[in-house]
Structure formats: C-alpha cells, structure tokens
Amino acid sequence: MPQIVSKKQKTLEFASGRDASDSIDLQIQEKLRQSFSDVLTEPIPDRFLKLLDRLSDGKPQ
Amino acid sequence: MSVKKSFRDALLVEIPAMRAFARALCRDRDAADDLVQDALLSAWKSQLTLRDVGCLKSWLLQIVRNAHLRAVQSRARLRAEPIDDDADYASQVGGEDELVEGEDARSVLMKLAAADREAIVLVVVHGLSYDEAAEVCGCPTGTIKSRVNRAKAQMRTALTQDREERGPPKRSTPEKLPGRAA
C-alpha cells in the first residue's frame, strides 16, 4: 500500500527543511560578520586620517 | 561645516567597510589598505559624480572594486598574462595565507571563486541589497542572487564538513612555518 501523506504533513516537512536551511544561513551570516569584525571595529589607521585631512585642506598628493 | 569637511567625515565613516571589502578582494592586509588609499583618492577626485549621499557606501565599494580590477589588470600586463573576466582578475591575487590564519569562516570564504566571494561579502557582511550589490559589480541582480546562493551553499558544505568530519580546519601553511621539518 502506498503511504498517503497529507498536504499538511508535506507543508510541515517543507517548513521544517526551510527552517533548518534558514538557521544554517543565519549561522553563516553570523560567522562571516564575526570574521570581519576586527577590521570593522578597529581604529582607522593614521594613514587614512592624514590622507583625508590633506585632501580636505586642499593639499596636493 | 564646509562641503569638503562633511565629505571627509562621510568617507571616514565608511573606511572600515572599504577595508573589509578590500581584504575580501585582495586577501592580503597590506595590499587591501593600499587599495583603500587608492580608492579614497579616486573618490575624492570624483565626489561630484556622487548623486545620492544615501548611496555613498555602495558608491565607495564600487570604487574599491574598480581600483582592485585596475591593479590586477596592471599586474597581469606586467606578467603578460591574458585576463578574461572578473573571476580571473581576483583569482590572480595572491597573499591568501596571512589572512586565513585563525579564521574558520574567513578561510572558507577566501577559497570561494572571486565573483562569489565579493557577492556574499557585499550582501551578507555589508548588508547591501541585491540591487545595490549588482550595481557595485556591474552585473544583473539575478547574477548576484545566484552568486550569493552558490557561495552560501559552498560555505555551508565546507563548514559542515569541517565540523563533522575533519575537525578544526588547518590554520596555517606548514611549509611556510620557520623551523618546521618537512
């Protein structure tokens, strides 16, 4: 006898699979953001501050 | 406040994002900062072409990307190597070892194809919309979606394998460690 799977059951399985996939995606996002957190939060190096100061003062490069 | 000072301050806010994107492109810390310096100079010279200040971040990331492509093209010309497309540009940049050290997700990221890598960094790390990322990369929005999905799938596989089968990924390149016997 073929097993009868209700529409509701299929929907639940699909939703469960999607939830797992979303959860992994969230983990990947979190890991990626963490892996760049050093450069995103560290102080801006002097070379860039000086460069922008020179540019805004109209000094040639 | 003068226009120059306010533009300077606006650029200052975006420097961390520019540096992070440059590192994803170059895979080398020092080369990335040189790239950001070039991009800042270009941005300053072409500030009048910025039409919407709300798009400053994606405008700057596009400048970083263009500067990167110019640098890779220039290096390739010196080596007389032909370059066909964007993926080839970035794949020819070396210096991977320094940045992957100690970073699981980053080390996996750095192994992705250049086009996939830049797409996932723009969308996931910098929070750009697919449309904005497409504008930065100069390609259709659908292409960006495909690249992000492919990158996510590869990262998912690699990170799962690392966790379940191989244990922690290798953190260094043994042959480059001083004093290590072969």
pLDDT digits (tens, 9 = 90+) for B105-148: 888 898 899 999 999 999 999 999 999 999 999 999 999 999 99
Q: pLDDT tens for residues B31-45?
A: 999 999 999 999 999
Tell me which DSSP letter residue B160 carries. Answer: H
Query: Which tokens in the block code for residue B54?
Result: 């709300």
Work out the pLDDT band at B13, boundaries 50, 70, 90: very high
Q: Amino acid identity of B129? A: S
Cβ neighbors of B122 (< 8 A, separation 6 or more) are: B21, B61, B128, B132, B133, B136, B137, B144
H-only helix segments in chain A: 7-35, 37-41, 46-56
Which one of A26, A41, A54, A55 makes the best mutation probe of the B interface by having the most chain B beta carbons within 10 Å? A55
Provide, rounded to the nearest whole percent, the portion of chain B with pLDDT above 90. Answer: 51
Residues in B closer than 8 angstroms to A36, CB to CB, are 20, 23-24, 106, 121, 125
Question: What residue of B is the nearest CA neighbor of A60?
Answer: B41
- pLDDT tens digits along B64-97: 999 999 988 888 777 765 555 554 544 443 333 3
Pick the most confident of A5-14, B4-13, B83-92.
Answer: B4-13
CA dist B101 and B181 (Å) reads: 20
CB atoms within 10 A of CB B177: 8
Report d(CA B70, CA B78) in Å as an integer. Answer: 12
Count CB pairs under 8 A between chains A and B. 78
The candidate with the shortest Cα–Cα distance to B61, out of B8, B3, B122, B9, is: B122
Render pLDDT for B18-31 as a digit per residue (tens, 0 to 9).
Answer: 999 999 999 889 99
B155 by Cβ neighbours in 10 Å (0-12 / 13-18 / 19+) ranks as buried
Per-residue confidence band for B166, with pLDDT thresholds at 50, 70 and 90: low
Q: What is the ipTM of this complex?
A: 0.70
Structure pTM?
Answer: 0.73
Question: B15–A53: do the CB atoms touch at under 8 Å?
Answer: no
Contact (CB<8Å) A36/B155: no
Chain A hits for B152, Cβ within 8 Å:
25, 28
Beta-carbon neighbour count of residue B98 at 10 Å?
A: 13
Residue A15, pLDDT > 70, answer: no
d(CA B65, CA B125): 16
